[in-house]
Amino acid sequence: MIGKYFMQFRTSWLAGPLLGLVVSLKSVFALDLTRAGEIKECAVGEISTWTDGADKAVPYASLNFLYNPTGAPPWFSENLVAELIQRASNKWSECGISAQSSIGDQPHYLMNNEVFISWNDIKSQGNIGASDLSQRRLYLSPSVFKNLREMRPSYDASYTLQMTLSHEMGHFYGLVAHSRRCVDVLSYYKNNSGELCNIRDRAEFARVIEYRSALPTACDIERCRRINR
Ligand SMILES: [Zn+2]
């Protein structure tokens, strides 16, 4: 898939008129191949999704994320999680949908734009996080985070929690399908047939434990804009 991506780029540059040639050459060389580059820029043709869902515009002008800290692993303080939710929603709001976040243990059933975030092993069904779009519930798994801490006591799992929140919150911004671009927060790396996600430089993949960004990338935001315009 990566090979194909570069092939497509090269084909259009050789076939293009003189002006196109200059512009395309510049953009080929300007493309930042590092993970940081992939996070901050979304090149033409890079938005790609797995065929696992249909994106859907958000039917509200804004979203409210209500966080219930009950049952959280003790190392994730109420304030820390609230801050991670705020960071994710600040970034997602670049797509044109504003969001507010607050802490509380009772969902407001009459507020249609409220997403209730809570810790629940049963509802998250073995996933680190899960989203129930029709019920507007976002679940985080305490036991998966406990296992992660046992396996890697020195690893700061707030990165993983930030990534999980950004990913699950993205589903509520209308990104239902998963991204095929490895670095996108909405990505998954491999499908059931063993096909891999797309990356600018495959050698970069192994350099970090988690290639996926902790916050929405330029392509996540661009896809969100297209869905919601
Ligand atoms: Zn997902």
- What is the residue-averaged pLDDT of the chain? 88
Å from CA of 108 to ligand 1 middle? 24
**pLDDT tens, position by position, 214-224:** 999 999 999 99
Class of domain 62-172: alpha beta
Distance 178 CA to ligand 1 centre (A): 6
Q: Is the pLDDT of residue 204 over 80?
A: yes
* Interatomic CA distance for residues 52 and 45, integer angstroms: 19
Residue 100's DSSP bridge partners are: 64
Per-residue pLDDT tens digits for 53-76: 999 999 999 999 999 999 999 999
pTM: 0.86
Listed residue (202, 222, 190) closest to 35, CA to CA: 202
How far does the centroid of ligand 1 lie from the alpha carbon of residue 31, in Å?
Answer: 28
Please give the pLDDT value at position 25. 47
Q: Where do we find the tokens 């979304």? A: 42
Q: What is the pLDDT of residues 133-163, one digit of tens each?
A: 999 999 999 999 999 999 999 999 999 999 9
Burial of 4 (0-12, 13-18, 19+ CB in 10 A): exposed
- Gap between the Cα atoms of 139 and 70, Å rounded: 12
Would you list the domain boundaries of the chain? 1-30, 62-172
